[in-house]
Amino acid sequence: MNLDLQEIDGTRHQVRRTFSAGLLRSDGQDDYEVTGDTTIDLAVRKDEATFRLVGRIEAVLELGCGRCLERFSWPVGLDIDMLYLPESESSDEGDVRIEEADVNTAYYRDEQIDLGQLIREQLQLTLPMKPLCREECPGLCTFCGANRSTTTCDCSDPWEDPRLAGLKNLLPR
């Protein structure tokens, strides 16, 4: 899944790769699972030892709903803009050039950029704070725990119809 930087001879290079879900499996370490093919489309610009990767990642993730806990499919398309420097330079003080706004800086080693790692990190950053299977997901019943987006239950709603409350008063005690 590596991008071999030695293969990039010109100053501009176009890269398009597709990775199957198995290659990006996280073994439960992330809050998401990749379920379909992931494509990464990059324009690579080389400036001496610096590589700028601008492009897009498209993936289909599976997340757990924050309300009903069901797993649901979440297609993602995200734009990336990364600046890669050789790892040896990371200890230098002269980091002036890096501080361009909106550009993430990373380091590469042995003339390789691990695209799998890049994809996983970028996907992690794009996850919603509280994923919902749908905006109006009713979540779980607070009484019996039934998933109210797929089933109904007999628990009474804490909200009581005032007309029923009125009828109750007519009943003999």
Instruction: Give the interface with Zn ion as residue ranges (CB under 5 A).
Output: 65, 67-68, 133, 137, 141, 143-144, 146, 153, 155
For the stretch 99-131, what's the b/e string if a residue is b when 16 or more beta carbons lie within 10 angstroms of its beta carbon? Answer: eeeeeeebebeeeebebbebbbebbeeeeeeeb
As a whole number of angstroms, the distance between CA 173 and CA 162 comes to 19
Identity of the residue, 57 or 63, whose beta carbon is nearer to Zn ion in the bound complex: 63
Identity of the residue, 112 or 128, whose beta carbon is nearer to Zn ion in the bound complex: 128
Taking the complex as a whole, the smallest distance from the CB of residue 118 to Zn ion amounts, in Å, to: 30
Residue with tokens 């987006």: 149
Taking the complex as a whole, the smallest distance from the CB of residue 70 to Zn ion amounts, in Å, to: 5
> Counting beta carbons within 10 angstroms of the beta carbon of residue 51, is it exposed (0 to 12), middle (13 to 18) or buried (19 or more)?
buried
Taking the complex as a whole, the smallest distance from the CB of residue 127 to Zn ion amounts, in Å, to: 16
Taking the complex as a whole, the smallest distance from the CB of residue 159 to Zn ion amounts, in Å, to: 14
Identity of the residue, 43 or 69, whose beta carbon is nearer to Zn ion in the bound complex: 69
Identity of the residue, 123 or 137, whose beta carbon is nearer to Zn ion in the bound complex: 137
